[in-house]
Amino acid sequence: MPVKDHSTNNSFAFQRSVAVIGIALFVAKLIAWHFTGSDAVLSDAMESIVNIIAAFMGLYSLFLAAKPKDREHPYGHGKVEFVTSGIEGALIIFAGIVIIVQSFNSLLQGNIPQKLDWGILIIAVTGGINYLLGHISYKKGIKENSLVLQSSGRHLQSDTFTTIGVVVSLVLVYFTKLYWIDAVVAMLFGSYIMFVGYKIIRKALSGIMDEADVDMLSSLAKFLNENRQPEWMDIHNMRIQRHGSGLHIDAHITLPWYYELRTAHEEMEKVYQLIAEDTDRTIEFNFHMDDCKPTSCEICELWECPVRERPFVKKIEWNEKTISQHNKHDVNT
């Protein structure tokens, strides 16, 4: 049962702006390379190509993620964000390898950069713009629960660190005339962005494989535990899947066995609304209603129950472990 809608129009428009700005920054870096002949600057420009490709891939994934469910995709198209983020991470790693190889060749060939003052100015400006754009993109991705914008933001910020490395190397070379510094610094930052690419791939794979989000499950369990009602004897077997900016939540809820169907369904709806009102995400619920058993009496706080068979023993605290437990809770949980 879907409870809340969430639009991706703003994310799409912002990602489109990122793509356009990425092209402009790439051209600026090519101009800087033309002035300096620096292999580190060229490597930074090549890394910007990845930014452009990633930005357009992000646009495509946001376009697909916004499409409604259909017969072929009953859960929607949101998981395409994990795929494109994984590809983006791979491209980042490739860019890191290219930077390292190019810098190593520069070190061996003894390349001497020219007109470093122009190169420093242009690259520094592009780095500042990149970082600001990356910061805004990441914050917007957090706000709108968009993995594409988060990955794009992290990527742009990692590109900024590469640019800083290039600027530092150009400044040092300019004052010291030690031309090998240019290549060594570029290799170090090439290694760094490879690590960033790995983390993005790791996060994308966890989403594709529906890896349990312990923090999200823990937060939800704590929220439910603080707002639980006596009628909700037990919630267990809870699973959370991410589909783009939306969530799909499965769970079993134990209710009094003597409730008629309408009353039981109303109690389940209360849980839906409680969770939905605490988030701005689209949530699709799939809860299974269980009837209570005699062993449930020992953890049941419905004191006025007319059919209680056993005395209350203890309250089961809901947390990420108990709420994801496959079987019903009892005093031994």
Instruction: Name every residue whose Cβ is closer than 8 Å to that of residue 199 and which is 6 or more positions away in sequence.
Output: 89, 154
| Confidence label for 93 from pLDDT (cuts 50, 70 and 90) | confident
What's the CA gap between 332 and 282, in Å, rounded? 36
* 216: pLDDT strictly greater than 80: yes
Please name each of the domains of the chain with its CATH number.
Answer: 9-208 (1.20.1510.10), 214-299 (3.30.70.1350)
Instruction: Name every residue whose Cβ is closer than 8 Å to that of residue 100 and which is 6 or more positions away in sequence.
Output: 186, 187, 190, 191
Average pLDDT over residues 150-179: 81
User: Which strands make up the sheet holding 234-243, listed edge to edge?
Assistant: 234-243, 246-255, 283-291
* pLDDT for the residue 1: 47
Residue of higher predicted confidence among 209 and 255: 255
Neighbours of 262 (CB within 10 A): 7
Q: What does pLDDT average to over the chain?
A: 82
What's the CA gap between 35 and 72, in Å, rounded? 53
* pLDDT for the residue 290: 93
* 7: pLDDT strictly greater than 60: no
Dump pLDDT digits (tens) for 244-270: 667 889 999 999 999 999 999 999 999
Average pLDDT over residues 122-127: 89
Dump pLDDT digits (tens) for 299-308: 999 998 999 9
* pLDDT for the residue 14: 73
50 close to 94: Cβ distance less than 8 angstroms:
yes
SS3 133: helix
| Confidence label for 5 from pLDDT (cuts 50, 70 and 90) | very low
